[in-house]
Copies of this chain bind each other. A is one copy, B any other.
Amino acid sequence: MNTVRKRSKQRDSIQRFLETRRDHPTAETVYHHIREEIPNISLGTVYRNLALLSEMGEIRKISTDEGPDRFDPITTPHDHFVCRQCGSLIDMEGTRAPHLIKEAQKGFEGQIDDQRTFFYGTCPTCMKKDQSA
């Protein structure tokens, strides 16, 4: 049987915070910001709720080659860019190839639920830094 979920101001606060951000914060970043609202929240609670919200489909966990996991409040399909230099994670628009998942499913004996595309390279900010260096 399904576990009943109780609301908590901690979880609400975490979700609300994420929704104000488009830079895909890490658990640590979430923690530091929530502490301004709930000073005694613990990092464990942040991790627990980020995991919970992911399971519930409210947010999305994103792992990249660079640095710790990040979290995205936007759950509609879209792609991401990862900067190899500073690790920043940027939303990409107009790059989604929706047919890919159907394509991939053809002749594949498993079940495909999700597709994720990442572009890697140097972000605009780091490009500028490199030039002036």
Q: Bound complex: CA of A115 vs CA of B80, how far in Å?
A: 10
A38 at the interface (CB under 8 A from B): no
Question: A81 touching B120 by the CB < 8 A rule?
Answer: no
Partner of A123, one of B101, B110, B117, B120: B110
Measured CB to CB, the closest approach of chain B to A26, in angstroms, equals: 14
Chain B residues positioned under 8 Å from A61 (CB to CB)? 65
Q: Quick one: closest B residue to A126, CB to CB?
A: B110
- Could you jot down 13 A-B contacts, CB within 8 Å? A61-B65, A63-B63, A81-B104, A92-B104, A94-B103, A95-B103, A95-B104, A104-B119, A110-B123, A112-B121, A114-B121, A115-B120, A116-B117
